[in-house]
């Protein structure tokens, strides 16, 4: 498991570029927030948002396994 939640979410967002509107819809995290996190415009994103995104990506990984 990734040691840093922010690094994990940033990596997964980079890998899923182009599907951010879908991710926003499925997670409830606003699209603007996702883009700002991915572009590192938010220096200290809220843990709740990162956790929501991380849970979403981990769910996708488990479904693919």
pLDDT, position 35: 96
Please state, in angstroms and as integers, the Cα–Cα distance from residue 8 to each residue in 1, 34, 58, following that order. Answer: 9, 14, 10
CA dihedral 28, 31, 32, 37 (to 10 degrees): 80
Angle among Cα 9, 62, 21 to the nearest 5 degrees reads 45
- Per-residue pLDDT reduced to its tens digit, 26-57: 999 999 999 999 999 988 889 999 999 999 99
How would residue 3 be classed by pLDDT, with cut points 50, 70 and 90?
Answer: low
| Whether the Cβ atoms of residue 55 and residue 28 lie closer than 8 Å to each other | no
Where in the chain are the domains?
5-64
Please state, in angstroms and as integers, the Cα–Cα distance from residue 10 to each residue in 20, 21, 61, following that order. Answer: 12, 16, 15
């Amino acid at each position: 498991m990734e040691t840093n939640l922010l690094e994990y979410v940033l990596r997964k967002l980079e890998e899923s570029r182009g599907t951010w509107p879908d991710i926003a819809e499925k997670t409830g995290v606003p699209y603007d927030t996702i883009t700002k996190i991915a572009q590192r415009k938010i220096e200290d994103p809220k843990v709740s948002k990162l956790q929501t995104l991380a849970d979403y990506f981990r769910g996708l990984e488990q479904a693919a396994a």
